[in-house]
Amino acid sequence: MNTKQGYSGIDRFRIVAALLVVAVHTWPLVSLGVLPDFIFTRVIARIGVPFFLAVSGFFLLAPYAESPKASPAPVGRFVRKTAIVYGLAILLYIPVNIYAGHWDGLRSVGDVLKMVLVDGTMYHLWYLPAAILGAVLVWLLLRYVGLKGATIIAAALYIIGLFGDSYFGFVGQVPWVNAAYQGIYTVSDFTRNGLFYAPIFLLVGAWAVRRQALPRKTAFIGFGAALVMMVAEGLVLFAAGTQRHDSMYILLPVCIFFLMVWLASFRGASSKALRDISLVVYVIHPWVIVLLRGVATPLGLDTLLVNNSVVHYLAVCIISFAIAIVLVWLKGRLLPGKKRQAAPKRAWMEIDMAALEHNTHLLQSLVPGGCRLMPAIKGNAYGFGAVPVAKALYRFGVRDFCVASLAEGIALRKQGVKGNILILGYTHPDDAPLIKRHHLAQTVVDAAHGVALAAKGIPLPVHIKVDTGMGRLGERSDHPDALIQLFTLKNLRVQGIFTQLSSCDSRRPEDVAYTRHQVANFKAVLEGLGQRGIPLPQTHIQCSYGILNYPELAADFARPGLAIYGIVDEACCFGPAPDLRPIFQVKAGVALIKEVRQGERVGYGSSCVAQRNMRIAVLTMGYADGLARSLSCGGGQVLLHGQRAPIVGNICMDQAMVDVSDIPAAAAGDIATIIGPSGGAEISVTAFAKAAGSIPNEIVSRLGTRLERAYIVNQLENTAHAAHKVRALPKAVYARYQKLA
């Protein structure tokens, strides 16, 4: 999903949906006649609640819907937030329930559980437990039967619910069917309360994600046609008298699907305020109905404010929205959220977590079914921050990580990183207690290392490294007896076996042949183990370019490094590079603009002598921050106002100078882009590395610790990307940053 822009159409329709929900509970057209009110309130307005469910599914299930091979995103956060809202709503309506005697009929614990967990403690609150139940059920279905299987099951549940709702009259005369539905009604007053209703609309939201390419006009026509047919369906059922209730129609999921696709086509800045206002209106409008009726009687305004259904509806809407707006405003003043971060003073890195999520699910979709990602977060996650990156990946569904050293693994555990962590490098056997204490897995780098680890008498989970031709760590693949011995050592619990491909990023025929040779060696090892009756542990062989160039290799894990951070050299890909998005940009401030006359010198060593009168911008970034010194004297460039400015003179430890003579708009306080896009230009990390005579791996891992890391966790408006001045950053950009490290 493109997260550069929000879904403004969806956000705006939330207000319409809230108005429709209010209509369901106020019957606004009943003064004009039963039939007009039925059409509007009991058919058209019924799209309000399923719309909210579909929106939840749209965002909650979006990564899975785009890449079905990915693991479904965990629903814990959604469940917690919804449960908190539900708990507050229950407390809010305690006075109303006591006054109205709604709890007088409760006779047992079962009655209380039914009310709280299924029917809701107020007539409109059933939606919240239904959303929780539906989300958990959909998550389980996606894990075990996939999107299509989950949709089939949810559709079957919806059909069952349909015949207990609008179509009950067609089946209610059959004794055993009637008895079955009566059993359902003892658990839930209506079949729309959860199991038979919520899952299908959550999945409709997921399908809307997959069909966003549908033309806007087609989606609108589809929505209009489905709505008209649903009205006709409702009128037929109304005339036939088959409806026990009127929440479920055959055309309702179709209507919601086209509505969601149509609304998703309207892109723009998202609005949390609209989301919050619509939620508050949904929760509080029954309170407003009660208060309005209570005030109207003593004031003698019953005829106007209560009996006139149109005025009553408008009054409830106006008061509900006024209260919601005030509450949302107060929330923003009293609970402003994360404290605004000050703009960096020197140089910094912007890390886009949405791009990291996109890359994660894209790579998961490229590996064979059953293969899971084990991202490499060594070297402080290649410089991007191992702790925030690992925690974000865990939220995206990743459960396995690999690091280079014991110290890296311990640091992650001390910061609360969950999941399985494999140490890829050598760990001294004396540190075996630390491996066990911090619940890490260790790579056995050769047979002697395995024997030494086992001799410590501490049960350890290990992965065996096989050297198939890399010539680095690992027991040689042509030493089968040594490899087999590792499986027999008492204290080693072998969980995995893997190798490293040395040339999978090369298209040269001899390198491709060598990669195939390594793969054959690894397969021969696995076959040899099988022939000796040794159960095979989990396997992994692919790194980033292994995934991109040899996606057919079947294994239990794949270990993406640079690729998961969006760094790929197209020249190293066998085909077109996939849509991996760089997760970072590097920027620095312009301290001042200096006039340099012809013949004057710039920088250490007098390496630059001005051949003309020049304007020099002094950047607040040097080689101690990761700006490679090999880029000195015209070897590299930066971007200012979308134009390229060559580096002049030698790069200093803390500053660098660039020529802005041909960029008249350049001024002190500007932002220079070192790596990333600016205007219509871009300096990729690959281009930066080539200019520096290095490789992207080295460049990103050597970006200095002095660089501040700002993690973008919300969507940025387009105007934020256009900010040029450092002094504008706090308002335009950094108010939307959350520092995670």
CA distance 264 to 13: 11
Distances (CA, A) of 385 to 81, 242, 389, 446, 697: 28, 61, 6, 30, 15
**Residue tagged active-site, from 123, 414, 604, 731:** 604
**Cα distance between residue 588 and residue 347, in whole Å:** 4
Candidates 733, 737, 594, 617; CA nearest to 670 is 617
| CA 399/CA 41 separation, integer angstroms | 47
Sort 527 into a burial class: Cβ within 10 Å, 0-12 / 13-18 / 19+.
Answer: exposed
As a whole number of angstroms, the distance between CA 467 and CA 460 comes to 21
Per annotation, catalytic residue among 7, 69, 158, 378 = 378
Backbone phi, then psi, for 407, in 5-degree steps? Answer: -60, -40
Collapsing DSSP to helix, strand or coil, 347 comes out as strand
378 catalytic per annotation? yes
Is residue 738 helix, strand or coil? strand
Closest CA to 433 of 453, 411, 403: 453
- Residue 675 to residue 683: CA distance in whole angstroms: 5
Strands 656-659 and 643-648: what pairing?
Answer: antiparallel
252-264 vs 48-60: helix crossing angle, rounded to 10: 60
Distance CA 292, CA 289 (A): 5
Do residues 560 and 363 make contact, with C-beta atoms less than 8 angstroms apart? yes
CA distance 390 to 606: 45
Residue 428 dihedral angles phi and psi, to the nearest 5°: -65, 140
Under 8 Å between Cβ of 519 and 541: yes
Whether 546 and 553 have beta carbons less than 8 Å apart is answered as yes
Give the SS3 label for residue 442: strand
List the structure tokens of 550. 């040899």
DSSP state of 620: S
> Which residues carry out catalysis?
378, 604
